[in-house]
Structure 1
Amino acid sequence: SNMLGEPLKLRHALAKYMRRGSDLESWWYVQDGKDAFQFRPGKVCHLMNPDINQEIYGMPEYLGALLSASLSHSADMFRKLYYDNGSHAGCIIYIGAAQVNRESMDSLKETLQGARGGGAFKNVLIHAPNGGKEGVQILPFQQITAKDEFMNVKAASRDDVLAAHRVPPQLMGAMPGEKSAFGDVEKAARVYAINELMPVMEAMKHINDWLGEEVIRFNPYALLDTQPTS
């Protein structure tokens, strides 16, 4: 603000490092490795979503989808490691021959360790002298239990994230499943604008009331100014 107390600039403070004082009136910026900074009274505007457990910080609307987003990330990492590993390198090598010498076994172990990639699957070497009718057997993991349900996990986690943000999937570039469709994208955009975007815009206009002057203004949503197509 200037010498008259009029605002010159609005800046966004990173919510991750913002802390409220015990009096619930003061605000602090607390970041590791730096001295805590206290804002002057009345210099912080907090737009807060309600929380049934506390009324200090509120709760982000996306919080309920963090677990689904983490699950989707884990599925991506597993599939990436699967392909980095080559899938062929994850297997059980069963050696039942008694005449295998120690030098050959050590050489085979080193070869298997070098073939392993990021660790999605590990190689297992089993040496059981006189343990079976076949001397050497190679059992690929992907032929045994490598059912990661990747597509089902991705679809379920995607739906959870979309539901948390209440965004129509066609506006996110998502592809419909087989023999299905998402419907008219223009109608979906209109409903999304009315039910989701406009309430957020109205909430952000609280900053105007806090400052006592208009500093935030939104352009009309283009699709709401036109007649819907039949």
Structure 2
Amino acid sequence: MGKRARRMNRRESAEASNGAPVASNDNRGSAIEAFTFGDPEPVLNRASMLDMLECWHNRRWYEPPVSMDGLARAFRASPHHSSAIILKRNMLAASLEPTPQLSRRTFAGMVQDYLVLGNAYVREIRNRLGDVMRLEHCLAKYTRRGVEPGHFWWVPGYQQEEEFAPATVHQLLAPDINQEIYGLPEYLSALQSALLNENATLFRRRYYENGSHAGYILYATGAFANGDVDAMRDALKKSKGPGNFRNLFVHAPDGKEAGIKLIPIAEVAAKDEFLGIKNTTRDDVLAAHRVPPQLLGIVPANAGGFGDVTKATDAFFELEIAPLQSVFLELNDALGFEAVRFRERAKAAD
């Protein structure tokens, strides 16, 4: 039998590489080298993490599957996102007929929590006889569902938790397909679009604030005197910051035609991408909220417009506001009396 192959050490590998054939397209020795790189991509997509999260508990209350603080901060990420939620809240609050136990202000807070966070909580305030005097809105951002049925906790911060009296807090939740402890808002599929809309606006603001508008490559191949290249480099550096948009004069007596080329790399593309991102993300957000664009004051791009606003209002009320009213009417079953009552609405188109 022959001897077993032995792995070479580093010194032997280096000696063996000397004189080895080199590929004809190997450009490692050239003066110019171009390459691209990016951030490492996770093997597990973040979008699928939500499907695997559970509502873990600390033996007292359950934690929500999504950060309530993150959803609250994303509420004002996009003007179309917050405006659509505020429109639904105002229309629901205007359709409410206040009762001795529930005021319009308390109801508006519940509606906003339900639309933004997917959960709404109301607390019974009872008199000494045990009767319900009024209903108090509990912020869904800090309210947690207890492990024991009928128990809820108020958790505004670390070591500031407080348990509500049992059977005094009622929860309304938007159904979720992965768990039944907490509700999730319906717009989660368009949340990334709302955040992208915000990022595009912030990027454009920083683009104008920092004064770095020189998105180009200055390509020079002509013959220049000593110090000319350094002078051009200093002039380009001074074109940034306050007082930018200056004109640049270059004199090359012995230069050739097209010896200096200015190649823009970002200016025109950034304008087109900005408008495209803003319009596309706006459509995604409006589709998730199912709000007609004319109700949000969006200017139509075509001469025909969006159609009759009164008909759009009637359709929106029937398809969106009326189903939301039925969600809050479920509170009457939990309370045992009629605390939520809506007035009948006449169609605007009639």
Normalised by the length of structure 1, the TM-score is 0.75
Cα deviation, 1:61-105, whole Å, max 9, x if unaligned, reads 122221111111111112222333456444445677572399968
Structure 1 residue 116: deviation in Å? 9.7
Structure 1 residue 200: deviation in Å? 0.8
Instruction: Identify unmatched segments of 5+ residues in structure 2.
Output: 1-125, 245-255
For 2:197 and 2:321, locate their aligned partners in 1 and report how far apart those are by CA, in whole Å.
Answer: 26
Amino acid of the residue matched to residue 226 of structure 2?
Q
- Asked if the contact 2:210/2:241 (under 8 Å) is kept, the reply is no
Indicate yes or no: 2:281 matched with 1:154: no
Indicate yes or no: 2:226 matched with 1:99: yes
Indicate yes or no: 2:170 matched with 1:69: no
RMSD in angstroms over aligned alpha carbons? 3.2
- Asked if the contact 1:72/1:154 (under 8 Å) is kept, the reply is yes
Indicate yes or no: 2:185 matched with 1:60: yes
DSSP 3-state at the match of 1:19: strand
Which residue does the alignment assign to 2:307?
183
Instruction: Identify unmatched segments of 5+ residues in structure 1.
Output: 118-131
Distance change >3 Å, CA 140–CA 85, structure 1 → 2:
farther
**Equivalent of 1:9 in 130, 134, 158:** 134
Larger Rg: 2
Amino acid of the residue matched to residue 186 of structure 1?
T
- Asked if the contact 2:214/2:240 (under 8 Å) is kept, the reply is no
Indicate yes or no: 2:153 matched with 1:28: yes
Correspondence 1:65-214 to 2 at 5 A: 65-86=190-211, 88-92=213-217, 97=224, 99-100=226-227, 111=238, 114-115=241-242, 139-143=263-267, 145-214=269-338
For 1:91 and 1:72, locate their aligned partners in 2 and report how far apart those are by CA, in whole Å.
Answer: 25
- Asked if the contact 1:17/1:30 (under 8 Å) is kept, the reply is yes
Q: Which stretch shifts more, 180-189 or 77-86?
A: 77-86
Distance change >3 Å, CA 115–CA 95, structure 1 → 2:
farther
For 1:91 and 1:59, locate their aligned partners in 2 and report how far apart those are by CA, in whole Å.
Answer: 46
For 1:90 and 1:116, locate their aligned partners in 2 and report how far apart those are by CA, in whole Å.
Answer: 17
Structure 1 residue 138: deviation in Å? 5.5
DSSP 3-state at the match of 2:326: helix
For 1:113 and 1:174, locate their aligned partners in 2 and report how far apart those are by CA, in whole Å.
Answer: 36
Distance change >3 Å, CA 193–CA 137, structure 1 → 2:
same
- Asked if the contact 1:90/1:116 (under 8 Å) is kept, the reply is no
Distance change >3 Å, CA 98–CA 46, structure 1 → 2:
farther
- Asked if the contact 1:89/1:116 (under 8 Å) is kept, the reply is no
Distance change >3 Å, CA 92–CA 35, structure 1 → 2:
same
Amino acid of the residue matched to residue 53 of structure 1?
N
DSSP 3-state at the match of 1:15: coil
- Asked if the contact 2:145/2:152 (under 8 Å) is kept, the reply is yes
For 2:162 and 2:313, locate their aligned partners in 1 and report how far apart those are by CA, in whole Å.
Answer: 42
- Asked if the contact 1:71/1:157 (under 8 Å) is kept, the reply is yes
Structure 1 residue 108: deviation in Å? 5.4
Which residue does the alignment assign to 1:44?
169
Amino acid of the residue matched to residue 306 of structure 2?
F
DSSP 3-state at the match of 1:52: coil
Indicate yes or no: 2:343 matched with 1:216: no
Percent identical residues = 43
Structure 1 residue 190: deviation in Å? 0.9
Structure 1 residue 27: deviation in Å? 1.3
For 1:143 and 1:163, locate their aligned partners in 2 and report how far apart those are by CA, in whole Å.
Answer: 31
For 1:208 and 1:143, locate their aligned partners in 2 and report how far apart those are by CA, in whole Å.
Answer: 58
For 2:227 and 2:133, locate their aligned partners in 1 and report how far apart those are by CA, in whole Å.
Answer: 82
Distance change >3 Å, CA 24–CA 68, structure 1 → 2:
farther
Distance change >3 Å, CA 116–CA 91, structure 1 → 2:
farther
Distance change >3 Å, CA 103–CA 170, structure 1 → 2:
closer
Distance change >3 Å, CA 73–CA 189, structure 1 → 2:
same
Amino acid of the residue matched to residue 344 of structure 2?
P
- Asked if the contact 1:85/1:116 (under 8 Å) is kept, the reply is no
